[in-house]
Structure 1
Amino acid sequence: MSTEDAIETVIGRFGKYQTWILFLISLGRFPTEYQLVNVVFILPNAEFVCMDEEAYNMTNYCPCKNPQYDQTYIVKSVTTNWDLICEKRQLASLAQSMLHVGILGGSIFYGHLSDRYGRKLACLLALFCEVLFVALSAAVPKFWMFVVFRFLIGTAVGGSMLCCYVYVVELSGKSFRPYLTALMEISYLVSYFTLPIIAYFLRDWRHLQMATSLPWSFVLFYYFLIPESPRWLLTTGKKEKAIEVLTYIAKKNKRSTENIRTVVDKIQEEANSNNKEQFGSYLDLFKTPKIRTYTLLTAFVWTCCAFTFFGINQYIGTLQGNLYLNVLLSATSLLPGVVLVLFASLYLRRKIGVVTSFVVASLSLLVFMFIPKYMDSVELVFAVIGQLGVYTAFTQIYLFTSEIFPTIVRNSAMGFVSVFARFGSFTAPFAVNIGIEWVSITIFSVSAFIAACLCYFLPETKDSVLLNTIEQTEKSGDRKV
């Protein structure tokens, strides 16, 4: 099989037009990114003074019918709006967890939608639903309604994270894909930096939700601005439409359009598609030996990755001081991880980069266990190293997984493994709450090490052409070039 990316030869590895698409997608994802990091502002642990007669002026006293909340940083939040304190505190946890439940459901739904009806539809629907559901969540009068919309917000979060990433990957050439691991993090980092600034001026949670959603209503116009993925069009037998899209992109990038039909014919010949419509499904992930093996391996890797990531986060204490400044500092701590991911994607093989990140996380946690309690700063350093290790692994595993699976089931595969990542994030708190710290840390360290071992059995994909069909994947060896 040719190691040349035929689509890259037509439209370029990442020209001006792909840059424009990346800008649109990154801009449109801001409401999604805000929802991933805004919990500290809309669902905080509220401090209060009880004004009941039997507990007058007592701080955080329970039960309390007449709490007076501390408004130093946040004037109104979901917590204070519906008095989610004392015996209702678990309802705040429910509202937080519903976002992750929604992400799980959205990963399944949008993964199938994208493979069956196209990348463009799935991306547009997820981006617009995010705007719509966030705005509606700010207008509801009842807490149960907020919980419902929190779930719906999560479905759109899962869909936009999954589909937008695959969409941009499929528009790029193989030689540019390593840069996407860092470029796709830009919207997350910028939103992380700007959220505390917006929250500083809008200290009512309803206003904050509106401000981080409604201005992005322009994503509706993306219908006229972004094309369908030509790789998906070719895989599903829509030859003429694929030629039309490739010709349009090539012209925008000022490249020759003379041999596009010949290139398309060659791609279809290699894929043995015979110009027939083909659509993938979740069942296709288990029908053939290699795809089935890759599906199970990546699912367990994503589970271990999410489990370790959210587990480590539990051990990094919240910073003292100004809330808004603390969030800015937290965002800053992720910058080295993005640089490391870019370096690993460019200069290391996929398996080496991912395995190294997991091993660093595992070893740092082992060291963490033997640090004396009075050495707080040293503990923090190794906890942050562990967090960076698993963060870089998480970022790289997105690209690695998208390269392993063929176009016909790429989004279904990403959706399936994202579901297992949610299982990891759900179970992490239970491991943290075991009550014996060294046991919990050991579990997370072993989890990271298991993920590293499982990655060894996955195919190498660095500098490989994105395969389109299951048949191509089954016939391919370890795709090293």
Structure 2
Amino acid sequence: MKFENILEEVDGFGPFQIILIILLCTPRIVLPCHFLLNIFIAAVPPHRCDISSLGDAGLFRNLTPGQRLTVSVPLREDGVPESCEMFAEPQLQLLSNSSHSAQLPTVQCRSGWVYDNSTFTSTLATEWDLVCDRKSLTKTTTTIFFFGVMMGAIAFGFLCDKYGRKNTLLASYIMSIVFGFSSAFANSYVLFAALRFLTGFGLTGIIINSIVLSIEWVDTGHRSFIGVIGSLAWSAGNMLLAGFAFLVKDWRTLIMTVTAPLAFAVLTWCWIPESARWLLANGKVERAQFYLDKCAKINKRQKLSTKFKPETLSNVEILEKQDKNYTYLHLIKTPKMRRLTLLTGIVWYGVASTYYGISLNISGFGLNMYLTHFIYAAIEVPAKLMIYCFLNILGRRKCQAGTLLLTGICIAINIFVPEGLWHVRAPVAVLGKGLSEASFTTVFLYTTELYPTVIRQNGLGYASFMGRLGVAVAPLILLLEDVWAPLPQIVICSVAIISGMVSLLLPETQNARLPETIDDIERPRRNKVSCHPVEPSGVSLESKTTTDAQQRRLE
């Protein structure tokens, strides 16, 4: 007996599954608000050297504020004061002729900076003067946050498979709330960076658990629907972030605003069910039966306990190795698992670095950053609805490869389009952003279907680690523009195309039963878990050709 047969008895897609998706919506909305938060809290507003220390002594007392600025700070070609330099000495001759200011000696700002607060009341840059020779520290906070996400992926991947999805989900909620709010009160850059690392660590558990819980409770035919529709909460949160940032201009208040919804998630946690697949895989038959009965009741089906005894559930095939402790080492112990692990790692790295490489670079299209971010977020909705249709028509593998390759093509086009043609660059960039989000939506669903139940969380944890490695590197790639302006886009384009080609080497999982054990992956292809015809009794026809030992389990 397969778990899919059990799920059919209690209805694999009914009110129970819809309620589960709704309960997981709030934490999913919070995720993009934190993952893309640095776009706004680490923004660098226009600034110039602070010349107030020059005081009112000498000739300065007779000069207007504009004249003081003219003789103290050089101007760029566009007439805007330089951001990081001032004259070594006041140049009073510039009051009559400023055309030769470029040849005059300059020094770095001596007394700090004056910031334009018309867009932001306060950001990390204005709080700790992360400008000029320290400007890379604003990008570093993003990298540090995603290093926390990377470490969390490894930790929660192990903890979720060992202690269950539900318990670790609560731990993720609490950690994210505590460290999220704490980072809003940090009084130094180092403390803030450390707290953001821990916030990212906690948020990872929400990502992993919400995806896997949704997929493991739904039948085969509706997995793509659950995976895609559930991810719309990410897009909703992404659009809300633009609104929150527009209304809340102080970075500390903004962090508290986007963290607060997790308090509601904690209140609804008690109604979230544990994964029956995980419970059966770990020999917790009575608890699995409790949740399956609950599912049947909400879906208005006959209780499972009236049809099957606990001894019958104990023979579900996913219990074949329930007494074995699985670790990350099992991802590379056998040949096909090694291959699967290598390929999914490359694809995740490419998907994540491409998505965030585009998302974190939202300037240059003739629109303000709030509107640009909102458009980038809004395009994700039709992209996800589109990919839902194509997932069921073309399959997972072709969708994964196609979205990545087309994203790379969009980036390549914008490399050659002049920056002055922003009305051409903007639509191409928005299309690329939508395609990159479609690839991200696909990879979550695809990876969940590729890994067997006994190490699904470990597999997703590893894949998420590789993805967050790509995310952590993305802000640093954007710094390469100081070396050569097109270089960041060339790197991101290359990564997208290479990872798209690698995804073509993965097996197709459309309409396939979820693999339960490592043996399901390692079996010869003709016996591999796939979409086999099923008799009215619910027993797969393929099972008639299994070994004697497997036949005894089915009986």
TM-score normalised according to structure 1 size: 0.90
2:273 equivalent to 1:273: no
Q: Find 1:409's aligned residue among 455, 462, 467.
A: 455
Judging changes above 3 Å, is the alpha-carbon distance between structure 1 residues 69 and 312 closer, same or farther for their aligned structure 2 residues? closer
| Distance (Å, rounded) in 2 between the aligned partners of 1:414 and 1:113 | 12
The alignment status of 1:449 with 2:449, answered yes or no, reads no
Work out whether residues 403 and 466 of structure 1, in 8 Å CA contact, stay in contact via their aligned partners in 2: yes
Task: Read off the aligned partner of 1:356 and give its amino acid letter.
Answer: G
Structure 1 letter corresponding to 2:15: K
CA distance in 1, matches of 2:186, 2:283: 45
Asked whether the equivalents of residues 285 and 291 of structure 1 are also in contact (C-alpha less than 8 Å), the reply is: yes
Residues 39-95 of structure 1: per-residue CA shift (max 9 Å, x gap): 232111122243324696444234432423211121122222222222332322222
Residues 1:61 and 2:84 are matched in the alignment: yes
Of 382, 386, 396, the residue aligned with 1:350 is 396
Relative to structure 1, is the Cα distance of residues 341 and 128 closer, same or farther in structure 2, using a 3 angstrom cutoff?
A: farther
Report what 1:35 is aligned to: 34
- Please, what is the CA RMSD of the aligned residues? 2.8
Maintained 8 Å contact 1:302/1:418: yes
Which of 528, 532, 542 is 1:477 aligned to?
528
Segment drifting more, 60-69 vs 30-39? 60-69
Q: SS of 1:459's equivalent? A: coil
Q: Deviations over 1:163-220 (max 9, x none)?
A: 2111111111111111123222222222222223333333222222222223432333
**Of the candidates 271, 275, 284, which is equivalent to residue 229 of structure 1?**
275
Matches of 1:478 and 1:246, distance apart in 2: 23
1:399 matches 2:428: no
Pair 1:180 & 2:231 matched: no
Distance 1:438-1:404 versus aligned 2 partners, 3 A rule? same
**Aligned residue in 2 for 1:460:** 508
* 8 Å contact kept, 2:143–2:473: no
Partner of 1:329, secondary structure, is helix
Give 1:261 deviation, angstroms: 5.9
CA change 1:474–1:391 in 2 (3 A) is same
Partners of 2:221 and 2:451 in 1: CA distance: 18
* 2:153 maps to amino acid: S
- Equivalent position to 2:303, from 249, 257, 270: 257
Residues 179-218 of structure 1: matches in 2 within 5 Å? Answer: 179-218=225-264
Please tell me whether residue 160 in structure 1 is matched to residue 211 in structure 2: no
1:314-325 pair list within 5 angstroms = 317-325=363-371
Alpha-carbon distance in structure 2 between the residues aligned to 1:444 and 1:72: 33
Correspondence for 1:248? 294
Q: CA distance change for structure 1 residues 137 and 272 in 2, over 3 Å: closer, same or farther?
A: closer
CA distance in 2: counterparts of 1:333 and 1:264, whole angstroms: 48
Where does residue 10 of structure 1 map in the other structure? 9
- For residues 241 and 212 of structure 1, the distance between their equivalents in structure 2, rounded to whole angstroms, comes to 35
CA distance in 1, matches of 2:260, 2:498: 43
**Shift of residue 440, structure 1, vs aligned partner:** 5.7
Distance 1:335 1:208 in 2: 24
Q: State how far apart, in whole Å, the 1-side matches of 2:305 and 2:510 are.
A: 27
Structure 1 residue 265 displacement after superposition: 5.8
Q: Is the 8 A contact 1:31 1:216 kept in 2?
A: yes
Contact persistence 2:397–2:503 (CA under 8 A): yes
Partner AA of 1:39 in structure 2: N
Cα separation, 1, equivalents of 2:411 and 2:373: 24
**Whole-angstrom distance in 2 between the partners of 1:37 and 1:315:** 11
Match for residue 137 of structure 1? 183
Cα displacement (A) at 1:334: 2.2
Q: Which amino acid aligns with 1:471?
A: D
Report the CA distance shift for 1:182/1:438 in structure 2 as closer, same or farther (over 3 A). same
Instruction: Look up the SS of the partner of 2:397 in the other structure.
Output: helix
Structure 1 residue 256, shift from structure 2 partner? 1.2
Query: Secondary structure of the equivalent of 1:269?
Result: coil
Instruction: Quote the residue 2:464 is aligned against.
Output: 418
Shift of 1:321: 4.5
Closer/same/farther in 2, CA of residues 458 and 321 from structure 1, 3 Å limit: closer
Match of 1:111 among 157, 160, 178: 157
Moved more, 372-381 or 61-70: 372-381
**1:176 partner SS:** helix
Deviation at 1:469, TM superposition (A): 1.6
1:429-469 per-residue CA deviation (whole Å, 9 max, x = no partner) reads 56552745676655544433332332222221111122222
Does the 8 Å CA contact 1:6/1:267 hold for their aligned counterparts?
no
Counterpart in the other structure of 2:551: none
SS of the aligned residue for 1:29 comes to helix
The higher radius of gyration belongs to: 2
Q: Which stretch of the first structure deviates more once superposed, 184-193 or 383-392?
A: 383-392
Corresponding residue of 2:552: none
Alignment length, in residue pairs? 480
Report sequence identity in percent. 26
Structure 1 position 157, deviation (Å)? 2.3
Mark the CA change 1:321 to 1:373 in structure 2 (over 3 Å): closer, same or farther. closer
